[in-house]
């Protein structure tokens, strides 16, 4: 358990990081890049979905994007807010994400300096600042996953049973909200009972009640979103119906797809496909609406049966792009020298060390230690996102919301690699002293 002194330090650390991150983001969204001034492409889709929610004019096409983020925008608009208010809210959520990451770092490593470095890295993380100025999901989703890790720790470390149960319910609500923003979070859920079991001292009688509270909280936002989509489509539906099309576009050799409906033409041209197929002639005309998930999953699976190597080829390319060392930048920001430099620097200084941290977490049974529970959750969340990147369209935007967790794993990598090198050096000196002693005796 944390001592009072450590708790005070965590509060001070979190506040300092929050202030730094908030100032940077407020300067950006209020002085240079208000989200309301940059409404185009995906941003205009989210904006229109939100206005359809307010007017009650949603239809089947509104199920194509998950409802979580448009619902947040609709709530802000209903209260009289604008794009500028969205920017302030996202700046605050981004700052809270940095503060929570810093306090998680202190909880895990018990080293204030290391926790401060991690928190500051999140506070000044370039895409974390940039995406606070767009009507896009990155900032909100990043807050949800980091807050979920924080609530996971409290659900097993709370001082009382009441605290643990309430934290479990809050964890479920946070994960449910995150899933309505980006449904790929569902891939992480099978790991959750194991995490609660480990955090509860490997006692199912303690873990199962908390898990029940998590499921109860999770079912509320997810159930509402699924029922809404089912009503609009007239059949059972998932949280978002764009997975099938993204799966197909990841495997198909097309620039994009277009669907003509009466006087309206719907187009989807993903950035990865646009890079590979720059000609308009490579666009495919389709006869089935984009929100028909099963149709496009079937078409994608047919491509895989025809040529299984597509998955390896596309998956490898997606990993390169998502890691930030490919051709794509932090869309919709221009791919400038600054963003290119940042992408490569983040790959070398954070992504590679985070891989070392994950591997060292698996070694020496560190994953089973209660103090590393959050790191294990972070590794699970990042790994679940890798599955999405492999099977669907890969770009840096898919990875960015998980970057705070990547930085926590990178900090573990640096720390444990340093310990390993120190142990190796100590062992080498011991061997040398032993040899010197033996030589001296001989």
Question: Is the CB of residue 257 less than 8 Å from the CB of residue 283?
Answer: yes
Strand partners, 285: 258
Within the chain, which residues score under 50 in pLDDT? 1-8
> How distant, in Å, are the alpha carbons of 207, 235, 369, 370, 373 from that of 138?
31, 30, 31, 29, 24
Burial of 213 (0-12, 13-18, 19+ CB in 10 A): buried
* Per-residue pLDDT at 285: 94
* Per-residue pLDDT at 6: 41
Question: Is the CB of residue 137 less than 8 Å from the CB of residue 182?
Answer: yes
* Per-residue pLDDT at 422: 86
* Per-residue pLDDT at 438: 63
- For residue 321 the two structure tokens come to 């792009």
* Per-residue pLDDT at 341: 96
* Per-residue pLDDT at 421: 87
* Per-residue pLDDT at 7: 42
- The neighbour count for residue 253, using CB atoms within 10 Å, is 11
Tell which residue, 53, 242, 40, has the closest CA to residue 134: 40
* Per-residue pLDDT at 441: 62
* Per-residue pLDDT at 420: 86
- 50 alpha carbon, distance to own chain's centre: 22
Question: Is the CB of residue 290 less than 8 Å from the CB of residue 317?
Answer: no
């Amino acid at each position: 358990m944390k001592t009072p002194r450590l708790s005070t330090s965590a509060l001070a650390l979190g506040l300092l990081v929050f202030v730094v991150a908030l100032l940077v983001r407020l300067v950006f969204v209020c002085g240079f890049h208000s989200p309301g001034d940059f409404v185009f492409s995906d941003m205009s889709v989210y904006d229109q979905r939100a206005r359809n929610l307010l007017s009650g004019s949603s239809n089947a096409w509104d199920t194509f994007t998950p409802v979580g983020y448009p619902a947040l925008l609709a709530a802000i608009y209903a209260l009289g807010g604008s794009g500028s208010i969205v920017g302030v809210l996202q700046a605050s959520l981004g700052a809270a994400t940095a503060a929570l990451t810093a306090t998680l770092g202190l909880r895990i490593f018990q080293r204030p300096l290391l926790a401060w470095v991690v928190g500051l890295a999140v506070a000044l993380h370039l895409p974390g600042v940039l995406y606070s100025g767009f009507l896009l999901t990155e900032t909100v989703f990043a807050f949800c996953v980091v807050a979920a890790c924080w609530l996971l720790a409290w659900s097993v470390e709370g001082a009382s049973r009441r605290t643990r149960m309430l934290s479990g319910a809050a964890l479920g609500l946070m994960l449910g909200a995150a899933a309505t923003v980006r449904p790929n979070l569902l891939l992480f859920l099978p790991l959750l009972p194991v995490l609660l079991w480990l955090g509860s001292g490997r006692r199912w009688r303690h873990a199962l009640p908390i898990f029940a509270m998590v499921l109860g909280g999770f079912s509320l936002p997810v159930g509402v979103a699924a029922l809404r989509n089912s009503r609009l489509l007239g059949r059972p539906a998932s949280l978002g119906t764009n997975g099938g099309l993204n799966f197909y576009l990841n495997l198909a050799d097309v620039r994009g797809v277009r669907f003509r409906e009466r006087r309206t033409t719907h187009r989807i041209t993903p950035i990865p496909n646009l890079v590979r197929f720059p000609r308009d002639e490579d666009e495919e005309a389709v006869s089935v609406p984009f929100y028909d998930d099963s149709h496009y999953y079937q078409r994608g699976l047919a491509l895989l049966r025809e040529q299984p190597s597509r998955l390896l080829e596309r998956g490898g390319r997606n990993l390169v792009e998502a890691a930030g060392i490919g051709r794509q930048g932090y869309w919709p920001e221009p791919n400038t020298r600054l963003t290119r430099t940042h992408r490569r620097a983040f790959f070398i200084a954070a992504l590679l060390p985070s891989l070392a941290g994950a591997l060292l977490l698996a070694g020496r049974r560190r994953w089973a230690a209660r103090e590393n529970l959050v790191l294990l959750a972070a590794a699970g969340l990042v790994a679940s996102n890798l599955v999405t990147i492999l099977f669907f369209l890969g770009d840096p935007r898919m990875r960015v919301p998980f970057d705070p967790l990547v930085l926590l794993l990178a900090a573990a990598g640096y720390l444990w690699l340093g310990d390993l090198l120190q142990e190796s050096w100590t062992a080498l000196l011991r061997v040398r002293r032993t040899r010197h002693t033996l030589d001296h005796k001989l």
